[in-house]
Amino acid sequence: MLKKKTVDDINVKGKRVLVRCDFNVPLKDGKITDENRLVAALPTIKKLIADGGRVILCSHLGKPKGVADPKLSLAPVAARLSELLGQEVKFAADDNVVGPNAKAAVEAMKDGDVILLQNTRYRAEETKNGEEFSKELASLADVFVNDAFGTAHRAHCSNVGVTKYIKGDCVVGYLMQKEIKYLSNAVDDPKRPFVAILGGAKVADKLNVISNLLEKCDTLIIGGGMAYTFLKAKGYEVGTSLLDETKVDYCKEMLEKAQKLGKKLLLPVDAVVTDHFPEPIDAEIETAVVDADKIPADKMGMDIGPKTVALYTDAVKTAKTVVWNGPMGVFENPTLAKGTKAVAAALAETDAVTIIGGGDSAAAVNQLGYGSKMTHISTGGGASLEFLEGKDLPGVVAADDAE
């Protein structure tokens, strides 16, 4: 397993500690509507405070594209973090992030104090991993802690560039440590049988994940919009369902690969179809259930059907490790959420290690009320996908290796 130095391996007493968090939270009228990411960051922050570190937090929020946008200020995050931690989190409101407010606040810090810098993406260089901004961030601190798995697949100033110029340790926080542990165990050393479930809209998004997981897992389950390209590869009519014509041959290759490797690749045997996409997405809609090889030319598949639910949930029952990325259908609509809900319920009941790969799958299990029953819900959609592809994540690589 990948081993990185963590906050438990360093002494931060009296030191300035720059912590890259993922505070990219949804805001409505300046209020945070989902604070899961703030709560996830608390164990690392509390540990650093307790150890006498001078804690300087930084994060991006949204996509201000290098321009100071008051609607994407981290001020509401500082206010809510103050409440969650039970102590003031001083907000350094510099549009250039490392400005006079930040410098003065850091200068005045005592052991156990916490400050939050302004949105790192107010600086255009952030996403380009520019040297100057990396150096400015590093100048504030003695030690660097990366606890933002959600951005680990990107090489930016605040998670990768800064590590080149910090003189002290560069380690990972508890959240990153947990992500690395669960995801790398699942990919490199899973308890078997290992079942991987892939859903979501596009095959293109998951090309390498499908190929990589086929080599690692015992059973690969395909659902969601991407299933129809696989059904097309089998020669079936898929009506007006989501279809990626350019990936039909790829899907054929994956079906052959599964056969060659002796792996089970499960596809829907029936589908819930409609004659149009619901507008708005949660609108009432009439549906019918048809066999997967009998989708009418004028209908679109929107969810897995009851026979498929039985097939998929049976496969999950005997599993010892399950990785799930991507919903089974249009889960935002109550009528079309049954497949996703049934898979989530099956995972909640199993004694397997259940890992939910961020993004829509995380939203789905939380929305359907099964979040607390999962072993691990990843905080990074794109990052967890790239990890499952077998890629090195720049934000993880940049941290010091454990000895």
Active site residues: 37, 202, 359, 382
Residue 359, annotated ligand binder?
yes
Sign for the CA dihedral angle at 51, 73, 397, 380 comes to: positive
Q: Are 213 and 323 in contact (CB under 8 A)?
A: yes
Residue 361, annotated ligand binder?
yes
Residue 22, annotated ligand binder?
yes
Distance between CA 281 and CA 330 in Å, rounded?
Answer: 8
Residues 6+ apart with CB under 8 A from 45: 19, 21, 55, 57, 81, 85, 114
Q: Give the closest residue to 214 by CA, choosing from 198, 229, 202, 200.
A: 198
Residue 3, annotated ligand binder?
no
Residue 61, annotated ligand binder?
yes
Residue 156, annotated ligand binder?
no
Distance between CA 27 and CA 76 in Å, rounded?
Answer: 9
Q: Are 177 and 38 in contact (CB under 8 A)?
A: no
Residue 94, annotated ligand binder?
no
Residue 86, annotated ligand binder?
no
Residue 173, annotated ligand binder?
no
Residue 360, annotated ligand binder?
yes
Residue 154, annotated ligand binder?
yes
Residue 62, annotated ligand binder?
yes
Residue 63, annotated ligand binder?
yes
CA 68 to chain centre: 26
CA 327 to chain centre: 14
Binding residues: 22-24, 37, 60-63, 121, 154, 206, 301, 332, 358-361
| Binding-site positions for ATP | 206, 301, 332, 358-361
Annotated binding site for (2R)-3-phosphoglycerate: 37, 121, 154
Summarize the annotated binding site for substrate as residue ranges: 22-24, 37, 60-63, 121, 154
